[in-house]
Amino acid sequence: MAIQDQDDIAALLGTPEQCTRVNNFVWISLCQAGVAPQLWQTTHCPQQQCCEILRDYPGLLEPLKNAVHSAWIPDRDLSWLTDSERQVFWVQRYIKSAMLPAQTNIPIGPAASLLIDDRIPHHLTGSSRSIALVDYWASRTVGDMSLRRNAVLIMESAWRHQQNSDRRFDWLDGEGGDHRRIWFWEKLLHHLKMVPRDNPPPISHDTLLNIIDQLVIHPAELTLFNQKARGQFQQQQRRASSKGKRQCNFVLQERTISKLDSLARKFGITRTDVIEFLIQQEALNPVHTTERLRRLSALTTHDS
């Protein structure tokens, strides 16, 4: 058990030992209360400063103690929270929406206060940020433990649904994704007048998805725009790869086509690639063609 002193958050809250999660919860709660200017700009939870604030404002201490002892969501219910930039941003937006006083679709009832984005600790990142937000949300809402846990399950389900929705933009990720995202971003600027034109292109796939989340656009319109943009990009790529090429039509025997398909499957390339490769190789070193023509010539001579 950790040694506790007067500047120990665990001692003030009556918890058995120091816990990073508890410290972050106290930190974000005091930041949201606005009782200490610039507290949200510190690089880590300043325990001594937080303890001084709690002693100066005893009215803040009791709700925090009650939250830790009576409204604490089990760790296992939060195991789905990760360091994903995409998820962290989504969780913050979800909880901010859930904490609106007029919110009615969250089973634990209306929140006691709003979530102020600028007062979330700037250096609290990753899953630690998301968990602290969930803890703050749970502490500021009405309902028993079963309702709070159910609210977290509903949020997790909403996140899974969001992941499925995000998959439509998978074509903008992966190898060459930087180029595709910049192209998509420029199309978006042209299509949606409300997107600020002085914003730089998204530096990552997660950043792009987070920006898309904030667009005021009907889901059906966004889906249609994405489909058209993907089709246009693929068409441009096909045109670029077809430069210097012409279509050729010729008839092959069925057994030759079968062999061609077999080679394409074996090497994981297209039938066109197989044909082009064989022609290029034979042009460089015409062994097979020369031998074939020599044999044909010999047969013709023999027959005559």
250-290: which CATH topology? Arc Repressor Mutant (1.10.1220)
144-180, pLDDT tens digit by residue? 888 889 999 999 999 999 999 999 999 999 888 899 9
Three-class secondary structure of residue 269 per DSSP: coil
Three-class secondary structure of residue 162 per DSSP: helix
8 Å CB contact between 144 and 70? no
pTM of whole model > 0.75? no
Lowest mean pLDDT among 101-115, 183-197, 200-214: 101-115
- The Cα–Cα gap between 76 and 153 comes to 11
**3 pLDDT higher than 50:** no
Q: Tokens 């929406």 identify what position?
A: 97
85-107, pLDDT tens digit by residue? 999 999 999 999 888 765 434 44
DSSP class of residue 125 equals -
- Which carries the bigger pLDDT value, residue 47 or residue 3? 47
Domain ranges of the chain: 9-167, 173-241, 250-290
**110 pLDDT higher than 50:** no
**Residue percentage of the chain with pLDDT more than 90:** 36
Where b means 16+ CB within 10 Å and e means fewer, 199-230 reads eeebeebbbbbbbbeeeebeeeebeebbeebb
What are phi and psi for residue 201, nearest 5 degrees?
A: -60, 145
- The Cα–Cα gap between 75 and 31 comes to 23
